[in-house]
Chains A and B, each alone.
Chain A
Amino acid sequence: MRWLVLLALLAAGCEREQRQYQLPTVQASFVKQGHVTTEKNAYALSQGKTLFRWFNCSGCHSNGGGGMGPALMDDKWRYGNNPEDIYASIMEGRPNGMPSFKGRINEDQAWQLVAYVRSMSGWARKDAAPGRNDSLYPGDPENMRDKRN
């Protein structure tokens, strides 16, 4: 009996986080949904980090520390840090240089970016946020940052 219980406990360890390769297609309630599903999902967050590099967000925002564009890892938000606000910043652009990516990137990708941008200032779950970088980076990784408001 004891062994049976132990085995059952072991089996519970087999559960693996689902990788959502494809988010549900755009719908009316998607705004909230997209955010909720991506922000808890480690795969979506790390994809967001990859896209941040691919689409050269660092060109202006640096690795989140800011440069030509505002810092993304501090507690200051010009346009708010709600997922919907960040989504709008990415897709519609903002004055003073933030370009609009609507029609240039996929909605799923935008949500992944939103989740990652929030994780830069500690707004994602720590067990889902990306860990240490492959390259040299002096700061704390995203999963060690505390929430900044």
Chain B
Amino acid sequence: MQEVLGSAGPQAAHIESLWWFTLAICAVVFIAILVAVGLAVMRRRVRAPTPPDLSVLTKKERGAEVAVVAALGVSLAGLIVLTLASFVTDRALASLGPPDLEIDVTGHQWWWDARYDDQDKQKIFTVANEIHIPVGKPVLLRLRADDVIHSFWVPNLSGKKDMIPGREATLTLQADKPGVYRGQCAEFCGAQHAKMALLFIADEKYEEWAAAQRKTAPEPATDQQKRGRDLFVNGRCAMCHAIQGTPASARRAPDLTHLMSRQTLAAGAVPNSIGHLAGWILDPTSIKPGANMPPNPMAPDDLHALLAYLGTLK
């Protein structure tokens, strides 16, 4: 599902064709060198050993001269063609056209934050680790890092782009085929770099999804859920997490307003199920050692109430 040679959009297709082109040229060069080495090895030697010929050259060695100049010319031509191809690809990557959607993507240790920008401030919403985009439309990503250098990489859709603290980088991409494309941080960023994945979902029902994400969290229906919400809002969770529609609005950790609409927990570390969620809340370090979320030992009743409430965040 995360594949360098499985392009699903124009940006990745440009890069993929450059990759195949480079491979083809390099393969030809490689074979030519092998043939030359083979010929040199196979060449017949003089049977009787003679003293080496150390006399001064009196006439030009036409054959050798032609061969060397020709090889040099072919090498140069190959290099120039590759340089031009790389240049053309770069230009093509920059010509996707004005974006339909702008998303601020921020890399954190070790998760992804995505804020869907909109002219209408009421329509801005934030998700984490799972980014839905419309199919066949250019999307502009504004990439930032919160703590250390990360690198954004969804190989099916585009090349890599570094996310450097204090700077903003932009990347335009487009998905032509609906599907789920896995992305991965591509710059070592600490203990859990390997478990810093994100899902890019080219969604045919993008508008429906976005409308659902804009909604605030539903009011808890049962007493248990109410208790869970109180635990969340008045306890440790609210120090870092946000749930829209409640007083919890911290921005240090993923926005949980629609937690249950996501496929994974902890940036792709485990599938999103109530069991994994319970394990993650009680002891995140057993799933992701070094994660900034601290362990939260709590009474079983409290845990069940919290899980009951989090389960309503669809």
Answer yes or no: are A and B bound together in one complex: yes
Chain A interface residues toward B at CB < 8 A: 19, 21-22, 25, 47, 50, 54-55, 103-106, 108-109, 134-135
- B99 within 8 A of partner (CB): no
Q: Is the CB of A106 within 8 A of B235?
A: no
Chain A nearest Cβ from B241, distance in angstroms: 12
* A134-B235 Cα distance, complex, nearest whole Å: 31
Q: Is the CB of B297 within 8 A of A25?
A: yes
Residue of chain A at shortest CB distance from B288:
A21
Q: Can you show 29 pairs from A to B with CB atoms below 8 A apart?
A: A19-B191, A19-B290, A21-B285, A21-B289, A21-B290, A22-B283, A22-B295, A25-B297, A50-B147, A50-B292, A54-B240, A54-B252, A55-B239, A103-B234, A103-B235, A103-B236, A104-B235, A104-B239, A105-B236, A105-B294, A106-B236, A106-B294, A106-B295, A106-B296, A108-B294, A108-B295, A109-B294, A134-B165, A135-B166
Total cross-chain contacts (CB, 8 A): 34
Which residues of A lie under 8 Å from residue B296 when comparing CB positions? Answer: 106
* A22-B285 Cα distance, complex, nearest whole Å: 7
Chain B interface residues toward A at CB < 8 A: 147, 165-166, 191, 234-236, 239-240, 252, 283, 285, 289-290, 292, 294-297
* A101-B58 Cα distance, complex, nearest whole Å: 93
Given contacts A47-B292, A134-B166, 6 further A-B contacts (CB under 8 A): A22-B295, A25-B297, A50-B147, A106-B294, A109-B294, A135-B166
Chain B nearest Cβ from A117, distance in angstroms: 18
Q: Which of B191, B239, B290, B297 contacts A105 (CB 8 A)?
A: B239
Which residues of A lie under 8 Å from residue B236 when comparing CB positions? Answer: 103-106
Which residues of A lie under 8 Å from residue B295 when comparing CB positions? Answer: 22, 106, 108
Chain B nearest Cβ from A34, distance in angstroms: 13
Chain B nearest Cβ from A132, distance in angstroms: 14
* A103-B296 Cα distance, complex, nearest whole Å: 10
Residue of chain B at shortest CB distance from A19:
B290
Most-contacted residue by chain B among A25, A47, A106, A108 (CB, 10 A): A106
* A41-B179 Cα distance, complex, nearest whole Å: 45
Which residues of B lie under 8 Å from residue A21 when comparing CB positions? Answer: 285, 289-290
Which residues of A lie under 8 Å from residue B191 when comparing CB positions? Answer: 19
* A112-B126 Cα distance, complex, nearest whole Å: 30
Which residues of B lie under 8 Å from residue A22 when comparing CB positions? Answer: 283, 285, 295
* A21-B287 Cα distance, complex, nearest whole Å: 12
Chain B nearest Cβ from A136, distance in angstroms: 10
- A-B pairs with lowest CB-CB distance, top 6: A106-B294, A21-B285, A22-B285, A21-B289, A54-B252, A21-B290
Which residues of A lie under 8 Å from residue B239 when comparing CB positions? Answer: 55, 104-105
Chain B nearest Cβ from A18, distance in angstroms: 12
Residue of chain A at shortest CB distance from B234:
A103
Which residues of A lie under 8 Å from residue B294 when comparing CB positions? Answer: 105-106, 108-109
Residue of chain B at shortest CB distance from A51:
B292
* A65-B295 Cα distance, complex, nearest whole Å: 31
* A134-B234 Cα distance, complex, nearest whole Å: 33
* A96-B254 Cα distance, complex, nearest whole Å: 33
Residue of chain A at shortest CB distance from B297:
A25
* A22-B166 Cα distance, complex, nearest whole Å: 30
Residue of chain A at shortest CB distance from B235:
A103
Residue of chain A at shortest CB distance from B283:
A22
Chain A nearest Cβ from B252, distance in angstroms: 5
* A108-B166 Cα distance, complex, nearest whole Å: 29
Chain B nearest Cβ from A27, distance in angstroms: 12
Most-contacted residue by chain B among A21, A103, A108 (CB, 10 A): A21
Which residues of A lie under 8 Å from residue B240 when comparing CB positions? Answer: 54
Residue of chain B at shortest CB distance from A26:
B297
* A105-B295 Cα distance, complex, nearest whole Å: 10
Chain B nearest Cβ from A90, distance in angstroms: 13
Residue of chain B at shortest CB distance from A106:
B294
Chain B nearest Cβ from A100, distance in angstroms: 13
Residue of chain A at shortest CB distance from B290:
A21
Chain A nearest Cβ from B273, distance in angstroms: 23
Which residues of B lie under 8 Å from residue A103 when comparing CB positions? Answer: 234-236
* A50-B240 Cα distance, complex, nearest whole Å: 13
Which residues of B lie under 8 Å from residue A54 when comparing CB positions? Answer: 240, 252
Residue of chain A at shortest CB distance from B293:
A106
Which residues of B lie under 8 Å from residue A109 when comparing CB positions? Answer: 294
